[in-house]
Structure 1
Amino acid sequence: MRPGVTETSLEAFELHMAVIWVMTGIAVVVFGLMIYSMIFHRKSKNPTPATWSHSTTVEFIWTIIPFIILIALTIPAVKLLIKMEDASDPDMSVVVTGSQWKWHYKYMEHDIEFFSNLATPQQRENFSLEEAQNNPNYLLDVDNELVLPANKKVRFLMTADDVIHSWWVPELAVKKDAIPGFINETWTQVPTPGTYRGQCTELCGKWHGFMPVVVKVVTETEFDDWVAQKKEEKIAAEKAAAEAAAQSWEMDKLMELGKTVYDAKCAACHMQNGAGVPPTFPALKGSAMAIEADQINAHIDIVVNGKAGTAMAAFGNQLTDAEIAAVVTYERNAWGNDTGEKVQPADIQAFKAGN
C-alpha cells in the first residue's frame, strides 16, 4: 500500500502500517512460542507429559490481550471510516457515471460535462509489448482528464448506466462502486497539483481492463481558466454542430467521417470488418438492420438510444448529429452492404425531435 497524497490516504496508510506491525508482533510471539515448545518440550526431552490440562490465568490473559488489541485498532479505524464517508459541505460536486467502457463526468456547478475514454482504443486489439515496456502509462491515458482544483473539497456522486463499475484512484484513497439506479457518495481534497491515475475495479464486461481513470489536479487559477476554456469549446461545438446539421452532406464526406467515428467508437465490439462477435456483438455486415430500407429508423434509434440489457451504449449524447448521420451512413454502405442510402444530420435532428 502506498501513502497517497490526500489527508485521508495518509491516515489510511499509517493505520495500515500500524496494523502490519501489530500483526508482525503477534506472529513473532505466536511462532516463537511454537518453536520454543517444539524444541524444549519435545518427547525426547520430556518423555513424561505434564498432568495439568489448563490454566485459567493463562486463558484469561490470551483472551483479554487480543480484545484490547482489537479495541485499540477499531477506534482509529472507525474514526477514519466516518471521516472518509463524510462528504458534507463540499466546495464542488462531480457526477461520475460509469458505462461500458468509459466514464462520464458532469460538473454540477459549472455546466460542464464530457466523456473520458481510453486515449488509444485501437490498442485493445493491437497490444504493443515494446510500447508497454517504454511507456509507464501504457493503456492508462484518456482523451479527457477529470480536472480538479487543489485544496478544494470535491464530492463525487457515483452511478452507472448499465452494469456495476467501480471508480478507484489509490493515491486519493477513493474507491466507490457505481451501481445502476443508485447514487453512491464519496469525496476527496487534494493538496498537491499533479496527475493521479486509477482504473475501474469491478469486472464490468469484455473491455473492463480499458477503463482508466485520470485525475489532473491544478491550482485554483488554472482550474478557472480550464472551466472558461471548456465553456468556449462547448459554445464552439454547438455552433459547429448546428452548421453541420444545416448542410446537405455528400456521400464521400459522410463515409469518410463515418469510418473515423466507427473505428473510434464501434469497431472494438463490431470489428473493423463489421462481422461482430456473435451473439454478444452482432454483425453489421449483411444484417437486416443495416441493409433494409424500412429499418433505417431502427438503425438510427439503436445508435442514438442504445439497447437496454445489452452492451450497446447510447451515443446520442456522445456524438454530434453529423457524426451519428455519418456512422449510420457508413454502416449501411460499408463491407458490401452498399444500400446507397445517405443519412443527413437533419435526419438525426428530426429523429431526436420526434422522440
Structure 2
Amino acid sequence: MAIRRKLFASLTALLGLALSGVVQATADLNMRPGVTETSLEAYDLHMMVVWVMTVIAVVVFGLMFYSIIFHRRSKNPTPATWSHSTTVEFIWTAIPFIILIALTIPAVKLLIKMEDASNPDMSVQITGSQWKWHYKYLDHNIEFFSNLNSPQQTEHFEQPGIAAEPNYLLDVDNELVIPANKKVRFLVTADDVIHSWWVPELAVKKDAIPGFINETWTKVPKPGVYRGQCTELCGKWHGFMPVVVRVVTEAEFDQWVAKKNEERLAAEKAAAEAAAKSWDMDKLMALGKETYDAKCAACHQVDGSGTPPLFPAMIDSPMVKGPAKDHIDIVVNGKAGTAMAAYGAQLTDAELAAVITYERNAWGNNTGDKVQPADIQAFKAGN
C-alpha cells in the first residue's frame, strides 16, 4: 500500500508539472490567438489538439509506469502464458483511428474556409523580392514598395544585437493599409527567389513563388497594426524583410487612398520636372550617394567592395567602366538568375541617373561619365 501511495503521489506531481507547463507554454510560447475569425478558430483547434495529446500522454505514460512497477520481474517472477488479446488489439487500434477522424473533420473544415478567397471586397497583389515587398492595389491606382525602416538597419549593423524598441527590425517605410470588416484577397508571388508572407495575428501565411500566384485572404474586425515577417530563407538579408499591416476604418481607408493618389500625382510631376533638367556632376553625385546608400549598399557595401561572388564589387567593375548603356540596362531591368533586382519601377529617372553616375565615378572609378535623366527616359523609350 505504501508503494501505491508513493506511486499515486508521484504521478499526481508529474501531472501537475505537465499541466503547469502547458499553462505556462500557453501564456508565453504558445500559438497566438490572433484577431480574425479564422485565426481564433485555428487557435481553438490547436488548443483542442494540445489537450487531447496531453490526456493521451498522461494515460499512456501512466499505464506504462504502472506496468513497469507492478509487473516487474521481482514482483511477478512467473510470466503470463497468453501471448495476445484480439479484443485489446482491436481497442487500441480503433481508439486512435476514432481520435484521428475526430480531429481531421474540424481541421479540414477550417482549412477549406481559410483557402476560400472568393468574393473579396478588394484585392492586393503582393510581390516578394530581395529584400522588400511590393504591394499593388488592384482596385485602386496605388502601388508601392515596402522596405525595412532604414535607420533600424543601420543601427543593427553599428550595434549588433541591440533591441532599442519593441518593434526593432519590424518597422517599414510603407505599411500595407487595408480597411476593417472587409474581405481582402491577397495574390502572392515573387520575382526572384521563394519568399513567404506571414502575419500571425491574421492567420495568414502564404509562400511567394516566382512564376506562381498563390491566393489567401483576411477579414480583420477591428483597426490596429499587425506585424509579421518573411518566413522563407530568401538570402543574405532574410532577417530584414518585415511585414506591417495597418487596419483602419473604411472612412480612414478612403482618406488614405485619396492622399496616396495626391502623392502619386505630385511625385509624377516632381519626377517629370527633375527629369527635364540637365544636372551637374555635384548634384548627380550627391543624389547618387543618397540613393546608393539607401538601395544598393546592403548588397554592394557602402565602400563599393561588394560581397563576391554573389554581389560583385563596384570598384573597377567591367560593367561600371564599360558602356553606360549596359550599366543603365542592368540597373533599370535587373539581371535574370541573380539577386540583382530591377529598379526601373522603384526609382525615379533622376535617381536612376544619379546612382549610375555615382557608381561610375565613386571609389576611384572616375570615368567622368554623367548620366542624365533624359538618358534614362531615352533608354526606357527604346525598350
Q: TM-score, normalised by structure 2?
A: 0.90
1:63 aligns with 2:93: yes
- One-letter amino acid matched to 1:300: I
- One-letter amino acid matched to 1:20: V
Greater mean alpha carbon deviation, residues 312-321 or residues 334-343: 334-343
Report what 1:322 is aligned to.
350
Report what 2:285 is aligned to.
255
Paired residue total: 351
Q: Which runs of 5 or more structure 2 residues have no equivalent in the other structure?
A: 1-30
CA distance in 1, matches of 2:364, 2:158: 25
Distance 1:267 1:124, change over 3 A: farther
- One-letter amino acid matched to 2:171: D
- Over 4 Å off, 4+ runs: none
Q: TM-score, normalised by structure 1?
A: 0.97
- One-letter amino acid matched to 1:303: V
Deviation at residue 125 of structure 1 after TM alignment: 3.1
Q: 1:19 aligns with which of 36, 44, 49?
A: 49
- One-letter amino acid matched to 2:154: Q
Q: How does 1:36-75 map to 2 (within 5 A)?
A: 36-75=66-105
How far does the alpha carbon of each residue in 1:63-118 deviate from its partner, in whole angstroms, 9 at most, with x for none?
11111111111110000000000000000000000001100000000110000001
Deviation at residue 262 of structure 1 after TM alignment: 0.2
1:353 aligns with 2:381: yes
Kept in 2: contact 1:124–1:210 (CA 8 A): no
Q: How does 1:78-157 map to 2 (within 5 A)?
A: 78-120=108-150, 121-123=153-155, 125-130=157-162, 132=163, 134-157=164-187
1:182 aligns with 2:212: yes
Report what 1:269 is aligned to.
299
Q: 1:281 aligns with which of 299, 311, 322?
A: 311
Give the SS at the match of 1:53: coil
Kept in 2: contact 1:124–1:268 (CA 8 A): no
CA distance in 2, matches of 1:93, 1:194: 19
Report what 2:11 is aligned to.
none
Q: How does 1:177-256 map to 2 (within 5 A)?
A: 177-256=207-286
CA distance in 2, matches of 1:37, 1:257: 77
Kept in 2: contact 1:98–1:161 (CA 8 A): yes
Give the SS at the match of 2:270: helix
- One-letter amino acid matched to 2:240: F
Deviation at residue 192 of structure 1 after TM alignment: 1.4
Report what 1:340 is aligned to.
368
CA distance in 2, matches of 1:191, 1:173: 13
- One-letter amino acid matched to 2:106: P
Give the SS at the match of 1:125: helix
